[in-house]
Chain A
Amino acid sequence: MKQTAFVLASLLACAATGAGAQTVPAPVQPDEVFSPKDIGHALSAPTPDAGKTAPSAANAPPDDGQWKMPAKNFAATRFSSLNELTPANVKQLQPLLTFSLNANKGQEAAPIVADNTMYVVTSYPNYVYALDLTKEGAPLKWKFAPKPVPASQGVACCDVVNRGGTVDDGKYIFNTLDGQTIALDTKTGKPIWRTLLGNINLGETLTMAPLVAKGHVYVGDSGGEMGVRGWLAALDESTGKLQWKAYSTGPDAEVLIGAEYKAPYPMEAGKDLGVSTWPAQSWKIGGGTVWGWVNYDADLDEILYGTANPGPWNATQRPGDNKWTSGIFARDPASGTARWFYQFTPHDEHDYDGINEQILLDMPFGGKMHKVLVHLDRNGYVYVIDRTNGRVLSADPYGPVNTSRGVDLQTGRLILNPAKETKLGEEIHNICPTASGSKDWNPSSFSPQTGLLYIPHENMCMDWIDMKVNYIAGTPFVGANVHMKPGPGGNRGELTAWDPVRRRPAWVVKENFPIWSGTVVTAGDLVFYGTMDGWFKALNAHTGEALWKYKMDSGVIGQPISYRGPDGHQYIAVLSGVGGWAGAVVSGPIDPRDGSAALGMVSAVSDLPKYTTAGGTLYVFTLPH
């Protein structure tokens, strides 16, 4: 064979250079980041005696043992009032059943339990399974295959994930990667309606979990790395018909900003800021997608959601504050009109999306009770915001930060550190937090028993160089070469139990890899979460003490839940299946020798393929009984 010589030479060369992973870069030194006490600010000193921190009854009704939406309730506490499992008996926790999802990309969804049936949606191709919990082994009641267009995989920035569906009024409602929102009949698995909202040829996909409230289905787009224009849409829950669409950029008429809008700070006030804070026409391709969590606040009858990063990542191509990206909107749930907006990161230069979870609490602050939302932003701060007006009460770092020196609580503005601003053609080193943030999309939980938030997050930093990028519809619009690295200490993940009243961590558990799973906390004072290298763990909610762990078939990036089975016992369910942005080096055809791969994530986690492989399995755990 005449080609043998060449092939042999290339193989030997491969062996010589080593086909294995790059070395993970050295951690950033602790003196490169600011001290929390120097950059954390509050409008007043903690007043923990002024009342007990808890969600309102309207936002977190008494627990019926089901788990009908990913966040558990409108307050998004992810708190289960079930207490059969305790620190004393959790060592006996064991798997009751597993179920293969037949999909091997990252599984980010929460299993949903309603009427003794469990519903699971997978990563692309977005299969939906309904399992009968009343029968031994939870046999399949039905399966639905939505058949998303395969090409949609090519415009999904960070693995082809799905963050879950929700059950309401006899429907299981979920999104597909290629832009559909679908309502299935929970009894039959047949579609009641399907609505196409996204256009993959503009780079739009759907990965978020829709929120259902008051007869509306709220859906937002993904594609912030593709030059799409962000929006939130409201659909009629019974018909799927589009009711309104509120864009995150552009003229007020399309952002649905009108007379009802009240700016919390002067920086959020002005006509058509969604146009004037951009170079000409750039708002049309400016991002601000809505791929994270939407809350309905039953106390104030409003919806709350964050907007993602502005595009492109190269901020030198879009001077200005880039409204209304990297912030949070409060809107009227029926009309969609904006009530207030607050921008966490004006003119974002580091991919700090504002889409992370909000937890709605009634909390003592300044000597009296306030209706607040707690938001864990990518930019590194725990924001406690008065949800009646959008004003920040406190903002404290919960991970390493050197891109900013805190939030100016008079103006509301993030105080940037010029040394870590990104530049065209010049590499800026040791930027903290990294592009995926002090934490990404994976949601925290809150226990009214401990008063603590359980924040699953990252400890990573990065090097970044801006590069000129052209807009070509349907292709990436990024313009940055990024290499991520571990933060101070070298542990790439942390689970922080945060006291929002006292503005400090109660305890911190370190993890080797970034934590990309959600957390759930139970009335038995247990916190559950998964790791990217494949452990599912239980901690004592008061102390962080490790009590139990189980090795899964693949890394865990899903959202664990706790529910009551038909037999009255407590169950814990979670999906395994590593992937997502942080795990794409395992789930995607990615070469760990390129540190800039997967938008620079691979540099920091190039060793993950040594620990786990791709998978996709539902696990259900319970005590022996």
Chain B
Amino acid sequence: MCSRFPISCVAVGLALLAGCSKSSQSAVASAPPTSIPGVIDTALTPGVGHSLTTTNPQAARYYDNADAVTTGKRLFNQYNCSGCHSNGGGGMGPSLMDDEWIYGGRLEQIHQTLVEGRPNGMPAWGGKIPDEQLWQIAAYVRSMSLPATLEAQNGDTPSQTPAPVPREAANDNGWAAPPGTTNHYTSTTEGPHQ
């Protein structure tokens, strides 16, 4: 809709932007919202000039949690996740051991992908797998690309010794500019928000 009427989009601004985004519940506010419905899984948030991040308090206990990743590894095979994603390298589904996060790499983002599925072939597991296990699988998936997990790889079957997901990993959605990038604008990411 906006692409057909770019001038009016710019002119009318906030009100029309709300109509352009399927997920917007109300007109975009200029100040950071105190509550964002759902989990943001994109680096684009209209109207605020930087990326926003949401968080889910349930995610907290799956960080720095060795049991979560080892249980997640078992569940990853048990529910046939490995059938598509292999031991992290992918196949029918994309690789999980690289540093690309299409829908975000924070645990609540991975959890949301598991719950909702994704349109190009990821099944929706919400209601099919207990939520506790979905969080454990999310932790294992996040662990696959951790330096500590990759360093522990012995031979060409990775992710067999998953490292716990460090709390600091929550600071990275997966779309921050790489270190060493000269940043000529001021703010890239704000959050997390609930």
Interface residues of A (CB under 8 A from B): 1-11, 13-14, 17, 19, 22, 150-157, 225, 467, 469-470, 472, 474-478, 481, 483, 584, 588-599, 602-603, 606
Interface of B is mostly: loop
Residue contact A3 to B80, C-beta cutoff 8 Å = no
Q: Note all chain B residues with C-beta closer than 8 A to A481.
A: 87, 157
**Further contacts, 9 of them, CB under 8 A, given A469-B80, A470-B78, A598-B91:** A17-B150, A153-B120, A591-B88, A591-B89, A593-B156, A594-B87, A594-B88, A594-B95, A602-B86
Nearest 9 A-B pairs (CB), nearest first? A154-B121, A594-B89, A476-B83, A13-B147, A597-B89, A595-B156, A3-B171, A589-B94, A591-B95
Shortest distance from the beta carbon of A5 to any chain B beta carbon, whole Å = 7
Interface majority SS on A: helix, strand, loop or mixed? loop
B140 vs chain A, min Cβ distance (A): 14
Q: How far is the CA of A594 from the CA of B188 in the complex (A)?
A: 33
Comparing B7-15, B59-67, B172-180, the segment that makes contact with chain A is B172-180
Query: Which residues of B lie under 8 Å from residue A598 when comparing CB positions?
Result: 86, 89-91
Given A596-B86, A596-B156: A590 and B95 interface contact (C-beta under 8 Å):
yes
**Does B97 count as interface, using CB distance less than 8 angstroms?**
yes
Say yes or no: A152-B121 contact (C-beta < 8 A), given A476-B92, A594-B89, A603-B156. Answer: yes
Assembled-state Cα–Cα distance A157/B100 (Å)? 22
Bound-state Cα–Cα, A152 to B123, Å: 10
Of A3, A8, A477, A594, the contact of B156 (CB 8 Å cutoff) = A594
Chain A residue at smallest Cβ distance from B148: A13
Asked if residues A597 and B147 are in contact (CB atoms below 8 Å), the reply is no
When distances are taken between beta carbons in the complex, the residues of chain A under 8 Å from B77 are 467
Q: Is the CB of B99 within 8 A of A154?
A: no
Q: Are A589 and B83 in contact (CB under 8 A)?
A: no
| Residue of B80, B89, B120, B122 ringed by the most chain A CB atoms within 10 A | B89
**Which of A13, A153, A597, A602 has the most chain B CB atoms closer than 10 A to its own CB?**
A597
- Contact of A596 with B87 at beta-carbon distance under 8 Å, contacts A6-B168, A14-B147 already known: yes
Q: Looking at the assembled complex, report how far the CB atom of B66 sits from the nearest CB atom of chain A, in whole angstroms.
A: 18
In the complex, the chain B residue whose C-beta lies closest to that of A474 is: B123
0/1 interface trace, chain B 18-46, chain A, CB 8 Å (1 if under): 00000000000000000000000000000
Q: Do the beta carbons of A594 and B97 come within 8 Å of each other?
A: yes
Q: How far is the CB of B76 from chain A (nearest CB, A)?
A: 12
Bound state CA distance, A481 and B86, in angstroms?
A: 9
Q: Which residue of B lies closest to A159 (CB)?
A: B92
Beyond A7-B179, A597-B95, is A1–B188 a contact (Cβ under 8 Å)? Answer: yes
